[in-house]
Chain A
Amino acid sequence: MLIEIAKGDFTAALRQYKKTVPFPGIISRICDQPCQDVCKRAEAGDAIAIRNLERACVDIGESSSEKSRPLPKRGGKIAVIGGGVSGLTAAYDLARKGYAVTIIEADSRLGGSLWKVDRDFLPAKTIEDDVNAVIKLGVVIRLNTPINQELHDLRRDFNAIYVAIGAHTVERFDLDQDEYGFVKVDAVTFATSMDGVFAGGGLRWGKEMHSAITSISEGRRAAISIDRYLQKVSLTASRINEGTYPSCLYTNMQGIEPHPVIDANDHQQGYEWNEAIQEAKRCLQCECMECVKACEYLKQFERYPKRYVREIYNNLSIVKGTRHANTFINSCSLCGLCGEICPEHLDMASVNLTARREMVEQNRMPPSAFDFALRDMQFSNSDKFELARNRPGTDMSDTVFFPGCQLSASSPDHVESVYAYLNNHLTDSRVGLMLGCCGAPANWAGQSALFESTLAAWRTQLQAMGNPKVILPCSSCYQVFKNHMPGVEIVSLWEIYDQCGLPAFAGTVEPANCAIAIHDPCTTRYETSIQDSVRRIVQRMGYQIEELPLSRERTECCSYGGLMWLSNRELAHKVIQRRVAASQADYVTYCAMCRDFFASHGKRALHLLDLIYNRDTPGVSEIPGASAQTTDERAARRGPGYSQRHENRARLKRKLLKTIWGEEMDGAQAYESIRLIIADEVRVKLEQRLILTEDIQRVIEYAERTGRRLLNQGTGHTLAYFKPTSVTYWVEYLRQADGFAIYNAYSHRMEVPGSGQLS
């Protein structure tokens, strides 16, 4: 309502006001403003002058001639005894629900104690207008009718009774009373000792006009009880937050300038329109937007979390029609920052993850949303990369190193270094190795069945190795193991470095950049011990740590979480940009994806292993495991593209198998031997379009084998299409002596004839 007034739209404000109160004319004049006691504005100026604003609505706003909607008809006759504010409210609400209501009033007019209010303040016309609104609803009015019979007898003519006589009567009827002689009434339902008889208003409190707003509230709540009573449903179920209740709403008052209340020029007449606008503008619109301020995702969709939750719920129940919330649900990084910030711990991560699972369950998940990441996971858990070996010469493992899919893709050299380190430092432990993807992408994509089967495969594998303790550098893997594989013992690699010491050559030069900012991956949000270990390691190597404004339990996601980077790439860019702008210092992090995403936006960023396995010290480059690049070079390097990530994983497996276990990998597929010649600008395009080298190789292999291709008579280029799984890829190429030159590639998901046999 105040938003509309602030905009100067009094008619819209009045419409809003009428939705919340039954008698706008009366209430806007006699409202005793109980809400002023809790108004946050009072902390910076004065509480909002709500009654004056209500009155301005009624006086200035144009009352749209209420369309007389046909009322529903419900069986049930209700007597309301007493035509005061409380009784009128109950009668109004019940009549609008379709019940036949009769008001029985001892006096010669309706309104009760309203008539005792100063006429200048509350003109007779205002009372009459509002009371007429009740009569217009078809409520039967019996004036000058004191109750001369017992309620028991009256009950015979009515299905329910609301006793709302004021405190001025001594009449207590045949109802149970408390020790002070007041009628005993249930505090929630307003039920009395007699079945079907409810009571409220002054009678209950024993004093006159204790508060008009309370009387209205009681009349309204009694009407709810009567309706439920007549519908034969529970009177008490889910009735919290009726009447007044302390709000959980949190409003940050920081930076809010104090402004005093606007005084009406003419107190008698109330606010002029411009005064009302000024006053309404003082309203803070107490919506707690703390999470929205901290989250680019919530900000982007421009709404308030509670509204989001409702929209997600609606989205899931759409049977036919467009599901507008799909993109919203699938764009969340599931990082949990909102839940951490929210004073009420409303966490969009669990809401969105549940929604994704539900969508998959209903077979309504857009295939394009997460498909690419799921195929990446499938690659990692295929023969190309998946591997599990005990240390040579052993048939069991006490510990097993599980580097995860992305560190192996970004920095395969580090995986080798770490495995060597573990074997050297954990001397009393047989250290095995496991390569693959933990299953996190399937979990994020809502693919519960795929996630479960992936976990089951790892469980079986670990059992076969003698249930070793799993050493994890990646915190996403860490969360998967921790939360979904109970019984499997895990330890973070960073805790091992912290406890067992760093390699001798780590951090031995004086760092060029003294201060370095630590970015905690969002999957370590509540892993204080890991965060502490990382800080000790960085300090031990001689760096000064700069803490980012949002770190540790308030850290931000790099956009990899929840697969946001894939499902909403535009938003992901904004998220990364925001994060890299938090400090000028170089970042050090301990998640390969965080590092690569920051670097992709020009931010100098290092993986913690880049610091440990540097080659800055002269002579260190000869030490096995030391990187080929200096720390400075590594901070500036761009991460590998999607095709290269596959390639790096496959090569890592091949190399480790050969160097550590002396095994050769089995033969490759026919398409893998196809040599491609790709110019840089084409490569950029492929990367942007999520087209992998292997996709192109498959198309060419198919086209060259079957002869199914198009020829451009102008350029002599070949164009072919093929659908290996769910996406059809088109490749324009030219066969050359030393391979195939690639000119263009694009893809679509719609199925067209002739796209190959595989599916």
Chain B
Amino acid sequence: MTEQQPAEPPPWMCANCNLPLGLSKVDVGYLGNAFPVDLLKCPNCGLVFIPEDLALGKMADVEKQLEDK
């Protein structure tokens, strides 16, 4: 489990609830638009995990598109 394959989720867990994160549909929104996105999330408290490459890649692109709409 330490030598991860690229597809494997990163070893983050919720420190609050001491639970592993699970893939789940999460609503993300911007400027009055909302989309369901598959994210890793704590099944108990709802804390989510957004990896760096998602924040600086896809998310930044969508932000820009919505801002110019």
Instruction: List chain B residues, Cβ under 8 A from A368.
Output: 63-64, 67
CA distance A369 to B27 in the complex (A): 25
Docked complex Cα distance between A48 and B46 (Å): 74
In the complex formed, the residue of A with least CB distance to B56 is A746
Query: Is there a chain B Cβ closer than 8 Å to A730's Cβ?
Result: yes
B28 touching A713, Cβ below 8 Å: no
10 more A-B contacts (CB under 8 A) besides A721-B50, A747-B55, A748-B56?
A324-B68, A326-B67, A367-B31, A707-B15, A709-B16, A710-B47, A713-B12, A746-B56, A750-B63, A753-B27
Interface size class of B (residues with CB under 8 A): 20 to 34
Closest to B62 in A: A750
Are A748 and B60 touching (Cβ within 8 A)? Answer: yes
Residue contact B13 to A707, C-beta cutoff 8 Å: no
Give A residues with C-beta under 8 Å from B.
321-324, 326-327, 366-369, 707-714, 718-719, 721, 730, 744, 746-754
CA distance A514 to B21 in the complex (A): 66
Neighbouring B residues of A322 by C-beta, 8 Å: 65, 68-69
Query: A367 to chain B: which residues have CB within 8 Å?
Result: 31, 67
**Nearest Cβ in chain B — how far from A498, in angstroms?**
46
B:35-69 near A, CB below 8 Å: 39, 45-50, 52, 55-56, 59-60, 62-65, 67-69
How far apart are A138's CB and chain B's nearest CB, in angstroms?
45
Query: Would you call B12 and A710 a contact (CB within 8 A)?
Result: yes
Q: Given contacts A707-B16, A709-B16, A744-B52, are A754 and B69 in contact (CB under 8 A)?
A: no
Shortest distance in angstroms between B46's beta carbon and chain A's nearest beta carbon?
Answer: 6
Tell me whether A326 and B30 are in contact in the complex, defined as CB-CB below 8 angstroms, given that A707-B15, A712-B11, A718-B15 are known contacts: no
Write out, one digit per residue, whether chain B residues 1-43 have a CB within 8 A of any chain A CB (1) or not (0): 0100000001111111000010000111111000000010000
- From B2, B59, B60, give the contact of A714 (CB < 8 A): B2
The 9 closest A-B pairs by CB, nearest first: A366-B67, A711-B15, A748-B55, A710-B12, A713-B11, A750-B30, A748-B59, A746-B52, A751-B29
B68 near A366: Cβ-Cβ < 8 Å = yes
A656 and B51 alpha carbons, distance in the complex (Å): 44
Bound-state CA distance A210–B59 (Å) is 67
A567–B52 CA distance with the chains assembled, in angstroms:
22
A and B contact pairs by CB, cutoff 8 A, 15 listed: A322-B68, A326-B67, A367-B67, A707-B16, A708-B16, A710-B14, A710-B21, A713-B12, A714-B2, A730-B52, A748-B63, A750-B28, A751-B29, A753-B46, A754-B45
Q: How far is the CA of A751 from the CA of B31 in the complex (A)?
A: 9
User: Which of B15, B16, B26, B69 contacts A323 (CB under 8 A)?
Assistant: B69
Residues of B near A748 (CB, < 8 A) are 50, 55-56, 59-60, 63
